[in-house]
Amino acid sequence: MEILIAGHSGFCEGVERAFKIAVDTAKAGQPVFMLGNLVHNKQVVEKLKNQGVKTVSSVAEIPANSRGSLLISAHGVAPEIYQEAESKKLKIIDTTCPWVKKAQKIARELAAEGRPVIIVGDKGHPEVEALVGWSGGRGIVVEQTAELDKLALNPGDKVGIIAQTTQAEKHFSAMVTALKNKLKDVKEFDTICGATSKRQAAAIELARQVNLMLVIGDSMSANTKRLTELCSETGTTTHQIETAAGLDKNWLTGKKKVGVTAGASTPEWVIAEVIEKLKSRGGL
C-alpha cells in the first residue's frame, strides 16, 4: 500500500502563530484565559490546558482583578469583546489570523458605506459571528444560494459580499454570481485565505490519484469539513478522522494508494501518528 500526503496539509501559518503565542504566554507565569477554543482541535486545546491555560466561554467568567491575560482565538472576536477585556484590565493576547483580520476590516468598511454585508459562511461559527460583529450588525450570514432569494433586497440596493476565510472558492464564486444576478451594485471581496485555497486544490488533486482519501481534523473544524466535502466530490472514497484511533482497517482492504490530508488546525504530531499507524497496518 502506497501512502501519499497532500501538500499544504496540517497547521497553516495563522494557526502555527496562534499556538506559539499561546504557549509562550502560558510560560510567562501569569493567569491565562482562553476565550473558547484557540483553534478547532481538541488535541491542541488539551495541550494548552495542560500548560495551565483556562478556558472560558465569556469575559464575564473571568474573576475581577485577576491581572491575567486573555487569549483571543485565531477565529477572531467582535469589537465589544476587546472593550469587555479592557474594562477588566486584562492583557489582550490577540492571535486572530491576519486573513480574518482583513475580512473584519472589509466588513467594517462595507457597513460604513451603509451596505448590508452578505457573509458567505457557516452559521454559528466563531469567525462568522465575529464578522457580523465587525459589520456593526449589518452582516447577513448565508450558507447556500437558495437563501439569497429569501433576503429582503431590492434590485436597486447596494450590498457587499465577503467570505468566511475557509470557504471553497467555487462555492463563493457561485454565491457572488447569484447575488449579481439579483442586484446591480455588488461589492465583492474574496476573503478566502490563500493557504486554504492551496490546501483545497492540493487535496482535490491527490484525491483524484488515489483509491482512498483520509482527512485528518477535528469535527469542529470548518476547513477540515470543507476538505472532506471536496475530496468526496471527486468520487474517491473519503473518511474524516480526528486521530489515529479513528482508523478502520476495513477501509484499507484492496486499496493500493491511500491519500492523506489534514485541516489547518491539525497538529503535526497527530498527522505523524496516523501515518505511522497506516505504515504498520498490523496495528490497526
pLDDT top residue among 128 and 11 = 128
- Percentage of residues of the chain with pLDDT beyond 90: 73
Whether residue 275 has pLDDT greater than 90: yes
pLDDT for the residue numbered 194: 86
Could you tell me where in the chain the CATH 3.40.50.11270 domains are found?
A: 13-97
277, 165, 122: which is closest to 214 by C-alpha? 277
Three cell numbers written together for 126 = 466563531
Could you tell me where in the chain the CATH 3.40.1010.20 domains are found?
A: 2-10+194-283, 99-188
Are the beta carbons of 72 and 22 closer than 8 angstroms? no
Interval 210-234: pLDDT, tens: 999 999 999 989 889 999 999 999 9
To the nearest whole number, what is the mean pLDDT of the chain? 92
Three cell numbers written together for 117 = 454585508
pLDDT for the residue numbered 142: 97
pLDDT for the residue numbered 282: 47
Q: Mean pLDDT, to the nearest integer, of 120-149?
A: 95
Whether residue 284 has pLDDT greater than 60: no
Instruction: Enter the CATH code of domain 99-188.
Output: 3.40.1010.20
The CATH classification of domain 2-10+194-283, taken from the options 2.40.50.140, 3.20.190.10, 3.30.360.10, 3.40.1010.20: 3.40.1010.20
Are the beta carbons of 35 and 90 closer than 8 angstroms? no
Strands 212-216 and 185-188: unpaired
- Percentage of residues of the chain with pLDDT beyond 70: 99
Are the beta carbons of 216 and 40 closer than 8 angstroms? no
Whether residue 283 has pLDDT greater than 90: no
Residues labelled as active-site residues: 127
Are the beta carbons of 14 and 270 closer than 8 angstroms? no
Q: Mean pLDDT, to the nearest integer, of 134-139?
A: 94
Domain 13-97: which topology?
Answer: Rossmann fold (3.40.50)
